[in-house]
Chain A
Amino acid sequence: MIWVEILSRQRDVLTRHHIAGDSLTIGRGYGNDVMVDDPHVAANHLRIGRNAEGALVAEDQGSVNGLYLEGVAKRLGRVVINGDRLIRIGQTLLRIRDDAYLVPAERPLISRRPRWPLLVLLTLAILAIELVGAWRGDFREFKPATYIQPVLAVIGIVGIWVTVWTLLSRIIVRAARFETHLLIGLVAMLTVSVANEFADFGAFALSWPGLVEARFAIGFVVMGAAALAHMRAIGPGRLRLKLAGAAALPALMIGYHAVIDADQQRTLDPPSYVHLLFPPAFRASPLNTEDGLLKDLGEMRLRIDQARLKDKS
């Protein structure tokens, strides 16, 4: 008794064939025990039998495209099958087991700890930061839109992001895993919100306008990390490729941002000072003296003059 299972690229079972006896043939032709509709499979491609020890053996019947074992790049003429490793003929993945194959033990139906309190908590934390930020900067007459807009913006961004990943997950592994993706999206958003707050405060406190600029970089790095987490949630394989993808996203965006910045600086003045101020109590850098300031300005003159000479040519 032998089972032949044809799997999708995502390792889902597409069809399952039950063959009585100790040998069978697989191919595109109608004379086979199992027929495979793959143009890259030979009419008589594979024969499955048993060796002297009784283990299942697959044998190439002289096809053009050959027989491969999953994870082995070399073409093989004959393979001993252990029931867990897939074999490939043409573009078709096969899993062959006999009825003695031992399946894993039954997984008990334990109710996991519900995740929604954490999700709600994260959402509330993000909205709180946005609302406090809006309130902090609101010096005009009260208008509800001032507070609704940032909330809607955050909900929109997280919503679209999580929806895209959930759909991808559903398409690729046939499981939406919505809660996991939502969790990742919310953690990423919270990280960005908190980082932005620190950047704004820090830029004023330390007289360090570069921090405000760094907000973009932080945002894109978090985005890359989140993308990696989403990809890992979809499937554990191909870690290197996923790492490369996750690193490429912030690298490309930061690079693009730098190009745009450079273009703007050619036509506009770069914003080289902190624009958003905070109460004086948040100043962290020490007070300079007038002499110290004028000394710094004297040093700045050299930089300005050098930039001018470069610009002149």
Chain B
Amino acid sequence: MPGWGASERSPVGRSIHPMNGRIFLSIAGSVLALATRHPASAQTPVPDQPDTRVSGQAAGLVSERIYNAAKPRLLQVRSVLASADRQSSIGSAFMVSADGLAITNYHVVSQFALEPETYRLEYTAADGRKGLLQLLAVDVADDLAVVKVDRPAPEFFDFDPAALAGVLPKGQRLYAMGNPLDLGFTIVDGTNNGLVERSYQQRIHFSGAINPGMSGGPAVTEDGRIVGINVAKQLGSDLVSFLVPAQFAAALLKRAAEAPVPTPASFQAEVGRQLYAWQDGMYHAIAEAGFRDVDSGPYRAPEASAPWFTCWARTNENEVPRPRATDNTTGCNTSTALYVANDLTTGLVLMSHAHLKSVDLNPFQFATFASTTHPAVGIGLFHRKWQAAQECHEDFVQAEPVGEHPPVRVVWCARPYRKFDGLYDVLVQAMTQDRTGEALVSRMNLQAISYDNALGLTRRFLDGIRWKP
């Protein structure tokens, strides 16, 4: 799941690849955050899925019972552009306490959290009642938020104890609710398929038809208890959807209930703090998991051992016309994609190694080939709104001990985040300088990383580029 893109233009159709579109997007599709924007265009038809599941009368009765019980506990959440008094994005939420606390996704309330002077948060209940929402807490890493409605809630959801303990049986029938595409409150049933594998972020794989607008809605068991929160679906797939496990919501709820009510203006800094803490955790985990060696021609290159990296390879050997230098590239990237705002997804880590070898190029042509086919480029879109100007440093570097490492030319670029202190998008590229017709071009992209973590990983990365003994 390389990207959560709540695309402005087509909420269901468009995927935004954070990898600059130029590399091996062998991972199918992309994940779509489920807040919908511009509901008018949300009418983009979603192909009908033939329902192959056994949906007997009993199942129908269950979902009818669940929905009737849940209806007064459901909310539609709208981000309203204050100056125009019109909604700019919609999602769902559900009540979890008698005093009016409700849970939704962070990405449903992100516009208000980051720009409270421009947006306000409103809710519409199933009975048509409307009111203002107060934002109490956000959890960017797990895409959750706690909001409070302006009236008490006599009916609310309880968390499922098995879900809180993290022992949900695979195959269990779950029911997801929300307001898809602003069409009205809906209940869909599906299957729990356990936690997504090879993912740094814990998500439940839910096989059910979740659609934009259902973000922040609850997914419950047959007895109506919360097991997860609708968060995303995989583009280019059938019924592959994702839930945030309930225990994160319970933890955030506890934090929100205990802490004093924050001011709306304080959330931007809070988002920055959470991003900083999140990257610290993830990059330390990557460093702790360590690097393993992969052979790449006469070189040995470092590959992250952390289990949530997905690796791929490609070659240019079969291209037409026949390439005059071979390019065998392997790479690994995390599927971490942190939704910060509708035009900012971050947190991706990518490492790649290209072994280039001349077939009939002279040394000059080979150097041009290497620099043209493997330029030092960053990943993700550059938004001036979010990022300040990038600066690069280049140098020829010899790692110690000299006999083990080839000399490399290093290009190191960093681009700071404008609104979040201490975070940078960093690019490290190292090209070996020991041969004329052969080279290893190693690249590492680190999104939303602290400078110190970036320097630490740079050292580990350069230390890992060695000659094969």
Tell me the A residues contacting B by CB distance below 8 Å: 135-141, 207, 209, 265-270, 272-281, 283, 285-290, 292-294, 296-298, 300-301, 303-305, 307-308, 311-312
B388, A308: Cβ atoms closer than 8 Å = yes
CB neighbours of A311 from chain B (8 A): 388-389, 418
Assuming the contacts A276-B371, A290-B459, A294-B459, asked whether A269 and B390 have C-beta atoms less than 8 A apart, the reply is yes
A273, B368: Cβ atoms closer than 8 Å = no
**Interface of chain B, main secondary structure:** mixed
B434, A287: Cβ atoms closer than 8 Å = no
Chain A residue with minimal CB distance to B439? A280
A279, B363: Cβ atoms closer than 8 Å = yes
Complex formed: what's the CA distance from A205 to B144 in Å?
51
CB distance from B367 to the nearest CB of A (A): 4
CB neighbors of A among B366-399 (8 A)? 366-372, 375-376, 378, 382, 384, 388-399
Chain B interface residue bracket vs A: 35 or more
Assuming the contacts A279-B367, A287-B407, A290-B397, asked whether A269 and B325 have C-beta atoms less than 8 A apart, the reply is no
Q: Does B164 contact A (CB under 8 A)?
A: no
Assuming the contacts A269-B390, A270-B390, A300-B414, asked whether A278 and B382 have C-beta atoms less than 8 A apart, the reply is no
A-B contact pairs, 23 of them (CB 8 A): A139-B361, A141-B321, A141-B322, A207-B409, A209-B394, A266-B384, A269-B390, A272-B392, A275-B371, A275-B375, A278-B364, A280-B433, A280-B435, A280-B436, A283-B409, A283-B433, A287-B396, A287-B398, A290-B459, A290-B462, A300-B393, A307-B391, A312-B418
B397, A277: Cβ atoms closer than 8 Å = no
Complex formed: what's the CA distance from A198 to B334 in Å?
42
Q: Does B458 contact A (CB under 8 A)?
A: yes
CB distance from A13 to the nearest CB of B (A): 60
Complex formed: what's the CA distance from A312 to B413 in Å?
20
A139, B325: Cβ atoms closer than 8 Å = yes
Chain A residue with minimal CB distance to B422? A305
Complex formed: what's the CA distance from A297 to B462 in Å?
14
Chain B residue with minimal CB distance to A133? B364
Q: Indicate with 1 or 0, residue by residue over B408-440, a CB within 8 angstroms of chain A CB atoms.
A: 011111111010000010000001011110000
B364, A288: Cβ atoms closer than 8 Å = no
A308, B416: Cβ atoms closer than 8 Å = yes
Q: Does B291 contact A (CB under 8 A)?
A: no
- Count, A-B residue pairs, CB within 8 A: 143
Chain A residue with minimal CB distance to B418? A312
A304, B414: Cβ atoms closer than 8 Å = yes
Q: Does B270 contact A (CB under 8 A)?
A: no
Complex formed: what's the CA distance from A209 to B458 in Å?
22
3 A-B pairs with the lowest CB-CB distances in the bound complex, closest first = A279-B363, A139-B369, A280-B433
B394, A287: Cβ atoms closer than 8 Å = no
CB neighbours of B370 from chain A (8 A): 277
CB neighbours of B361 from chain A (8 A): 139
Contacting residue for A289 out of B400, B416, B458, CB 8 A: B400
Complex formed: what's the CA distance from A285 to B433 in Å?
13
Most chain A C-beta atoms within 10 Å of own C-beta, residue among B368, B394, B424: B394
- Beyond contacts A136-B365, A136-B368, A297-B412: 19 other A-B pairs, Cβ-Cβ < 8 A, are A136-B364, A139-B365, A139-B366, A207-B394, A265-B389, A270-B390, A270-B391, A274-B394, A276-B367, A281-B363, A285-B395, A287-B398, A290-B462, A293-B397, A296-B393, A297-B458, A307-B388, A311-B389, A311-B418
Complex formed: what's the CA distance from A136 to B364 in Å?
5
Contacting residue for B365 out of A137, A285, A287, A298, CB 8 A: A137
CB distance from A10 to the nearest CB of B (A): 52
Complex formed: what's the CA distance from A275 to B424 in Å?
22
CB neighbours of B369 from chain A (8 A): 139
Chain A residue with minimal CB distance to B424? A304
CB distance from A207 to the nearest CB of B (A): 5
Q: Does B265 contact A (CB under 8 A)?
A: no
B324, A140: Cβ atoms closer than 8 Å = yes
Q: Does B248 contact A (CB under 8 A)?
A: no
CB distance from B457 to the nearest CB of A (A): 11
Complex formed: what's the CA distance from A301 to B426 in Å?
12
Q: Does B463 contact A (CB under 8 A)?
A: yes
Contacting residue for A296 out of B395, B431, B459, CB 8 A: B395
Assuming the contacts A272-B390, A294-B459, A298-B455, asked whether A289 and B366 have C-beta atoms less than 8 A apart, the reply is no
A207, B396: Cβ atoms closer than 8 Å = yes
CB distance from A132 to the nearest CB of B (A): 9
Q: Does B451 contact A (CB under 8 A)?
A: yes
CB neighbours of B409 from chain A (8 A): 207, 277, 283
CB distance from A206 to the nearest CB of B (A): 10
CB neighbours of A278 from chain B (8 A): 364, 367
CB neighbours of A287 from chain B (8 A): 396-398, 407
Complex formed: what's the CA distance from A135 to B365 in Å?
8
A279, B364: Cβ atoms closer than 8 Å = yes
CB distance from A260 to the nearest CB of B (A): 16
CB neighbours of A292 from chain B (8 A): 395, 397
CB neighbours of A312 from chain B (8 A): 388, 418
CB distance from B368 to the nearest CB of A (A): 4
CB neighbours of A296 from chain B (8 A): 393, 395
Complex formed: what's the CA distance from A290 to B459 in Å?
7
CB neighbours of A135 from chain B (8 A): 365
Complex formed: what's the CA distance from A207 to B325 in Å?
25
Most chain A C-beta atoms within 10 Å of own C-beta, residue among B369, B384, B388, B396: B396
CB distance from B373 to the nearest CB of A (A): 8
Complex formed: what's the CA distance from A297 to B395 in Å?
10
CB neighbours of B371 from chain A (8 A): 275-277
Chain A residue with minimal CB distance to B410? A293
Contacting residue for B398 out of A275, A289, A298, CB 8 A: A289
Complex formed: what's the CA distance from A304 to B416 in Å?
7
